[in-house]
Structure 1
Amino acid sequence: MKTEFYVLTTMSNMHVGSGEYNVGVIDNLVQRDVINKFPNINSSSLKGAFREFFKSEKNDDFIKRVFGSAPKAQDDKASGSFRFFEANILSYPVRSNVVAYLRAVSIDVLKEFLLKIKMFQKQNDYKELVNVLNFLTGIDVKEKKPIVFNTKLDKAIVEDFELKAEIYSKDLDNTMRTALYKYFGKRVVLLHNNDFQRLCGENMLPVISRNYLESGESKNLWYEEVVPRLTQFYFPVMEEDRDADDFESKLSNSLIQFGGNASIGYGYSKIEPILSLNLEPYEN
């Protein structure tokens, strides 16, 4: 069995509901990590979405091996050979006056990512990524003083806070710059943890009003949080060697729907092995 890390990029707004009753203004909340309260996707929701996606393959043996017996199966309770872990936030899009969006990351988020790579003993396989994470987490970024690495973004405004980004002050060799842009893109902006909390912590996500119509008449109005498109999450999967290649190949060039509201285009996301990620060509 091997472990691989994947990146989930939301291509449309996403609402993976927490299922909790909320007495506040927002009716439907998204799932969040229990420690830092950032948006996440629980492992059960992740596995369920993948299982639903692979149903179209009409390969019952593969589905049963990977995911186990159907949830409502009475007689057969076989467990799947794959182990899915929760998806944690990696980057969050934020508006700017220079480009359509910046890709915001924070020190704590990256430190946790680095810890998980080490926990699953992937340091050697992911050496280039580990070097980038070590570089970013070693930067002393101050609150309200975001840092960018692309000279074209120097003095760019992080519009949600009206904060002015400053270019990284030290020399960045070409090898590190190439690797940084590969995994985090040319629009990456490094934020202090408190600023990142202000972006996507509790009660900070966009809220969209929803309306239920019956015969053209409004019957119910409710409000729900959404994770905006172009948000990135990462998650590890422990894979049985026999099915690992098939699992990855079927994910490539496909959109997978996560959470509710599929009929109105919510939750459609792209999944890539993190070693196949290359954001630079899309963020000139």
Structure 2
Amino acid sequence: MYKTSEPLFLFCETPLHAGSGNDLGIIDMPIQRERHTGFPKIESSSLKGSLREAFERKATTPDAQEQIHRVFGFDYASADKSLTTGNGAFANKKDQDFSGCIAFTDARILLFPVKSHTGVFAWITCPRVVSRFISEMIEYCKLSDNELATLQANTTGSDSKVYKNGSVGLEEYIFEGITKEQKVTDFGTWIAKKLFPNNNYWSTKLKTDIVVLPDDDFADFVQHSTEVITRTKIDNETGTVLDTALFTEEYLPAESLMYSIVMFAPEFKLNGMPEDKVQKFYTDMLPEIFQIGGNATLGKGIVRTKPKKQA
């Protein structure tokens, strides 16, 4: 069905809350997580819906609006009347009943930011995460087998700024026996070229400040080092907190890096777009920055998808 694929990177410019609803645990409104690992994720439906909205905001012509419906699937609620009446492309009910030709996997965590004793903060990852990422890049996105190497635990970049005397300090912990590896630098360099080819600061930091922890330690950090904030609502008449209006929300921290696989198929409609034109439409319309998750009016969930265009 799906013939071509490419990665979609999501770099959090601000904290992100892709919520899983109310919970009976310590946090009232936790973020979405994988059931078997507890690693943060964004459901593919949340990602696809947010991107579709971003595309619709960007579409300024009837042709572009029509193509969004053809690529993502027809949505009557967002369709312009010119498309559903008269000689519009979707005026007949039978023309509205088809599947989209673009698919997204759940967005998975790749690099997680943690406060470090030197260098302000480090990005952490683990062999499980890196191995899964490389496997998906090879299988779906035609990455060559020798382009990226699987990373070993307790390693950091060859020019790491968070490394000191054989150890790395993260939060209140000291990780001993850390070694410098060129493979970690190469991994950060590969990502930097995808996201920040024109930003020297972030490119350098990605090349130097990635730390590969054991799987269990990484799991602990992504479980317990997210941002948790307490929110309230004030009664305008009394100036005090309303009853039952105190709750906690969990956020994926700013500077987190996630990825998804975007897959393309030929359009289902007769004589429709082939998969290469579907992919080109997606690539041309993909915004550099868009919003995903809750609390958009609080400036949350702003993510970067690709390098900023040079003037």
Aligned length: 257
Tell whether 2:135 aligns with 1:126.
no
Amino acid at match of 1:44: S
2:217 to 195, 200, 209: 195
- Provide the rounded CA distance (Å) in 2 between the counterparts of 1:179 and 1:197: 20
Structure 1 residues 211 and 256: alpha-carbon distance in aligned structure 2, compared to 1, 3 A threshold: same
Instruction: Say which is worse superposed, 152-161 or 10-19, in terms of deviation.
Output: 152-161
Distance in structure 2 (CA, Å) of the matches to 1:18 and 1:103 = 25
Counterpart in the other structure of 1:162: 173
After TM superposition, which residue ranges in structure 1, 4 or more long, deviate above 6 angstroms?
none
Asked if the contact 1:49/1:258 (under 8 Å) is kept, the reply is yes
Q: Does 1:26 align with 2:27?
A: yes
Write the mapping of 1:77-226 to structure 2, written as runs, cut at 5 A. Answer: 77-120=97-140, 122=141, 125-127=142-144, 130-131=145-146, 133-136=148-151, 139=152, 141=153, 145=154, 147-155=156-164, 157-164=168-175, 168=179, 172=182, 177-178=185-186, 180-183=188-191, 184-201=206-223, 203-215=224-236, 216-219=239-242, 220-226=245-251
The secondary structure found in structure 2 opposite 1:218 is coil
Partner of 2:87: none
Q: Secondary structure at the match of 2:66?
A: helix
Alignment of 1:25-104 (within 5 A): 25-56=26-57, 57-58=59-60, 59-70=64-75, 75=93, 76-104=96-124
Change (3 A) 1:148 1:60: same
1:259 matched residue in structure 2 = 293
CA separation in 1, counterparts of 2:75 and 2:131? Answer: 36
Larger CA deviation: 60-69 vs 224-233: 60-69
**Any conservation in 2 of the 1:153–1:165 contact (CA below 8 Å)?**
no
Structure 1 distance, partners of 2:37, 2:76, is: 30
1:281 aligned partner:
none
- Pair 1:226–1:71, CA change in 2 (3 A): farther
TM-score, reference length from structure 1: 0.81
Shift of residue 126, structure 1, vs aligned partner: 2.1
Distance in 1 (CA, whole Å) between partners of 2:246 and 2:285 is: 39
| Pairwise CA distance, 1:99 | 1.0
Alignment of 1:242 with 2:264, yes or no, is: no
Unaligned runs of 5+ in 2: 79-91, 192-205, 265-274
In 2, Cα distance between the equivalents of 1:101 and 1:17? 25
The aligned counterpart of 1:7 is 9
Map Cα deviations across residues 92-142 of structure 1 (whole Å, 9 max, x no partner): 00111221211111111111112222432x3xx423xx5464241xx2x2x
Q: Work out whether residues 122 and 162 of structure 2, in 8 Å CA contact, stay in contact via their aligned partners in 1.
A: no
* Partner SS, residue 149 of structure 2: helix
User: Kindly, what percent of the aligned residue pairs are identical?
Assistant: 27
Q: Deviations over 1:12-35 (max 9, x none)?
A: 00000112x311221101111122
Cα distance in 2 for residues equivalent to 1:157 and 1:263:
37
Counterpart-to-counterpart distance in 1, 2:211 and 2:147: 14
Which protein has the larger Cα radius of gyration, Structure 1 or Structure 2?
2
Structure 1 unpaired stretches of 5+: 278-284
* Mean CA deviation greater in 258-267 or 79-88: 79-88
Map of 1:282 onto structure 2:
none
Q: What's the TM-score once normalised by structure 2's chain length?
A: 0.74
Cα RMSD over matched residues? 2.6
Deviation by residue 1:222-271 (Cα, 9 ceiling, x = unmatched): 1011100010111111123113223223325x311110100000100001
Give the whole-Å Cα distance in 2 for the aligned partners of 1:200 and 1:230: 13
Once residues 24 and 76 of structure 2 are traced to their aligned partners in structure 1, the CA distance between those partners, rounded to angstroms, is 31
Residue matched to 1:280? none
Contact 1:15 1:261 in 2 (8 A): yes
Query: How far apart are 1:182 and its partner, in Å?
Result: 3.2
* Amino acid aligned to 2:241: S
Q: CA deviation at 1:152?
A: 3.6
Distance of aligned partners of 1:235 and 1:224 in 2 relative to their CA distance in 1, 3 Å threshold: same
